[in-house]
Structure 1
Amino acid sequence: MPGVAVVWRGDREGRRTATPQNNRFHRVFEELAALGIHAEPAVFDEAFADEVRAQLLSVDGVLVWVDPIHDGKTRAVLDPMLRDVATRGPWVSAHPDVILKMGVKQVLHRTKHLGWDTDTHLYGSCQAFRAAFPEQLQTAGPRVLKQNRGNGGQGVWKVERIEPLLSGVAAVRVLHARRGSVPEELALADFMARCEAYFTPGGCIVDQPFQPRLPDGMIRCYMGGDKVVGFGHQFIKALIPPPPEGPDSEAAQPGPRIMHPASAEPFQTLRTRMEVDWTPQMMAVLDIEPDSLPIIWDADFLYGPRTASGEDSYVLCEINVSSVFAIPDQAPAEIARLVAARLSTSANRSVRQSPGAALTVNA
């Protein structure tokens, strides 16, 4: 029976007690089992990485749900391990190299010409940021800055110019996207100095215009490979100033994410654009093969300006690859179907590459 490991972050006790039934991925385990695929939990932490590596080398495929940043921990140990595992036989979804292509904010700049983006700029160094951003802020209105890798709103800021705090000193009002944040007013130079931490090796800052229709909500387009498997619509509160009751009040909390099937009528224009235009074009720009696309990923869209005829436009604000959850009800079955296809492809490739197979063909 073919086998896959499902990886998520946890502690030693979580690893010891994990079963296919007692975690948030239980529906994925159920759908895999229904297709005759053995799936096992593979709880990961840096403290027992070697143990996890040995487990992953014993299966045919690996499904990974681990955030880039979690309680101060990163994927600095996990990603090299996954790369090594992938060179030794098992396929990995999402592969760290694919994450670095499509699961980072830089993709917003690399693919901005596809029609899902807007006036997007990229600053690859502190020097470039200091040289260009003040003028951009002055001429283009409120902006949203995003560090290259992060989750949960970490390193995402709304920035708008205000009257100088002191004569001749440029000042800004900033709001962090992390839950519980409140607006802060400070000198532009001080805020930019704060952002210098985002220019780590491989780091950058992506700069997009603030979307006035943010209160209309965010549409999360869930993808299984290159096909839409569902949608989620949520009235988010990130980058919206908290109400008078305060950032911890009930009114400041985001609304529930309402899940919809791929066939949901309000999102069919977006579905067509994703499947027919944007995803194939993105794959070409980023040099991603169909079999390397993550088995589950999502693209988050905000509503852009309405067209002259009153139709909605959509602005890509993020692609999530590292840890996409929660997911629509239809997604676990699609994940299992894609896993089965990936296992079949891998098995056929192994047969074609084996010396015994070659001798049989030539006989």
Structure 2
Amino acid sequence: MATAKPKVAIVWRGDREARSTATLRNNRFHRIFEELSAIGIDAEPAVYDEAFSDEVRDQLLAADGVLVWVDPLHAGKTRHQLDALLREVAARGPWVSAHPDTILKMGVKEVLHRTKHLGWGTDTHLYRSAASFGEEFPARLRTAGPRVLKQNRGNGGQGVWKVELIGGAEGSERVQVLHAQRGSMPEELALPDFMARCEAYFAAGGCIVDQPFQPRLPDGMIRCYMGSDKVVGFGHQLIKALVPPPPEGPDSEAAQPGPRIMHGAEAEPFQKLRSMMEAEWTPQMMEVLGLDAASLPIIWDADFLYGPHTATGDDTYVLCEINVSSVFAIPDEAPAAIARLVAARLRSDHR
């Protein structure tokens, strides 16, 4: 008697039409579907929206595993209802990657503060209330130079600001701020007015993370793609977020980010970073956050900026974000790695 193939549901956000017309090939995850099928795993689309969440719940409960690609914020919607659904599904049998509880440990900006003592850390501070923000941030800005503020959970540059003093007496300073969202322009305003704008980030238990601005930002960002605890590839991009646009404006060609150049895990320029991620930083992060290998997402990434050169001229790296909720695009090598990791997880769950 033939053994039934294991079933995996792949979740992304869309409307009713997107759900009804989704196939294995007409979406950006088609390579992942192909690789899963190639090793004998039956994968199916599971397009999600709050309007038909019960239907999606029933579909996920019939699967052996669930892979999720849904941003924290999208068109005014959050993951609040979806995360509750995924917790319920995981509690009833199927494994979920990334589990919402893992996201709340890894995929939030607070992780930058919790792991600042690791080799990827920097002078990072955390404000849990508007009161502590008001008491501590102005003094830090006066003494430490330009800072980057980040709301705890977001994507696409939402709630990420470069803040720089431009003048004024203590208590009535003026600042120049630049939002990391594409198309943003520098803005000058009173520091108290800007801080009042940020108070919304403390809603629903939120917080603000504060890091120094990295002067080597124009050298680009390195995205280190991880399959569980191993590197599966890299992406290097000349980003323009937090870089003032040229005189032609934020919509000009010169203001657009460069292409993200993908590299395999063996790419020579990134072997030092790979070694540190696999041998040091990821195990140390797991210990700090209380995660084991089985809890790590099937796919996640750590975004690094270049830090100051060492005395011998070597590069250093500063972690600016960990992405867990919706990691895409991915290197060409990643879909096969994802499929292998899914198969291993399914075997582990059925021992």
- Give the alignment's TM-score, normalised by structure 2: 0.98
Determine the structure 2 residue equivalent to 1:276.
279
Q: C-alpha displacement at 1:116, in angstroms?
A: 0.3
Distance 2:180 2:200 in 1: 17
Distance 2:22 2:171 in 1: 60
Q: Do residues 301 (structure 1) and 301 (structure 2) align?
A: no
Read off the aligned partner of 1:133 and give its amino acid letter: F
Aligned to 1:159, which of 163, 184, 209?
163
Q: C-alpha displacement at 1:200, in angstroms?
A: 1.1
Alignment of 1:150-229 (within 5 A): 150-164=154-168, 169-229=172-232
Q: C-alpha displacement at 1:168, in angstroms?
A: 6.4
Q: Do residues 107 (structure 1) and 88 (structure 2) align?
A: no
Read off the aligned partner of 1:113 and give its amino acid letter: H
Determine the structure 2 residue equivalent to 1:361.
none
Read off the aligned partner of 1:138 and give its amino acid letter: R
Read off the aligned partner of 2:90 and give its amino acid letter: A
Determine the structure 2 residue equivalent to 1:341.
344
Aligned to 2:322, which of 297, 319, 323?
319
- Give identity over the alignment, percent: 78
Read off the aligned partner of 2:324 and give its amino acid letter: V
Distance 1:278 1:143 in 2: 24
Q: Do residues 68 (structure 1) and 67 (structure 2) align?
A: no
Distance 1:169 1:127 in 2: 18
Determine the structure 1 residue equivalent to 2:136.
132
Determine the structure 2 residue equivalent to 1:262.
265
Q: Write the deviation string for residues 71-111 of structure 1: whole angstroms up to 9, x where unpaired.
A: 10000110000000000000000000000000000000000
Unaligned runs of 5+ in 2: none
Q: Write the deviation string for residues 125-184 of structure 1: whole angstroms up to 9, x where unpaired.
A: 0000000000000000000000000000000000000112x8962110000000000000
Distance 2:163 2:78 in 1: 27
Distance 1:167 1:25 in 2: 52
Q: Do residues 12 (structure 1) and 16 (structure 2) align?
A: yes
Residue 162 of structure 2 aligns to a residue whose secondary structure is: strand
Aligned to 1:22, which of 20, 26, 30?
26
Q: C-alpha displacement at 1:202, in angstroms?
A: 2.2
Provide runs of 4+ in structure 1 moved above 6 Å.
Answer: none
Q: Do residues 122 (structure 1) and 126 (structure 2) align?
A: yes
* Superposition CA RMSD, Å: 0.8
Distance 2:170 2:27 in 1: 57
Q: C-alpha displacement at 1:346, in angstroms?
A: 0.6
Read off the aligned partner of 1:145 and give its amino acid letter: L
Unaligned runs of 5+ in 1: 349-363
Q: C-alpha displacement at 1:312, in angstroms?
A: 0.0
Distance 1:254 1:287 in 2: 36
Residue 4 of structure 1 aligns to a residue whose secondary structure is: strand
Distance 2:49 2:292 in 1: 30
Distance 1:170 1:158 in 2: 16
Aligned to 1:240, which of 243, 253, 261?
243
Number of residue pairs matched by the alignment: 347
Distance 1:168 1:328 in 2: 48
Read off the aligned partner of 2:116 and give its amino acid letter: K
Read off the aligned partner of 1:31 and give its amino acid letter: E
Q: Which of the pair has more CA radius of gyration?
A: 1
Residue 304 of structure 2 aligns to a residue whose secondary structure is: strand
Q: Write the deviation string for residues 194-234 of structure 1: whole angstroms up to 9, x where unpaired.
A: 00000012200000000000000000000000000000000
Distance 1:302 1:280 in 2: 21
Q: 1:326 to 1:163 in 2, by over 3 A?
A: same
Distance 1:101 1:60 in 2: 24
Residue 199 of structure 2 aligns to a residue whose secondary structure is: helix
- Give the alignment's TM-score, normalised by structure 1: 0.95
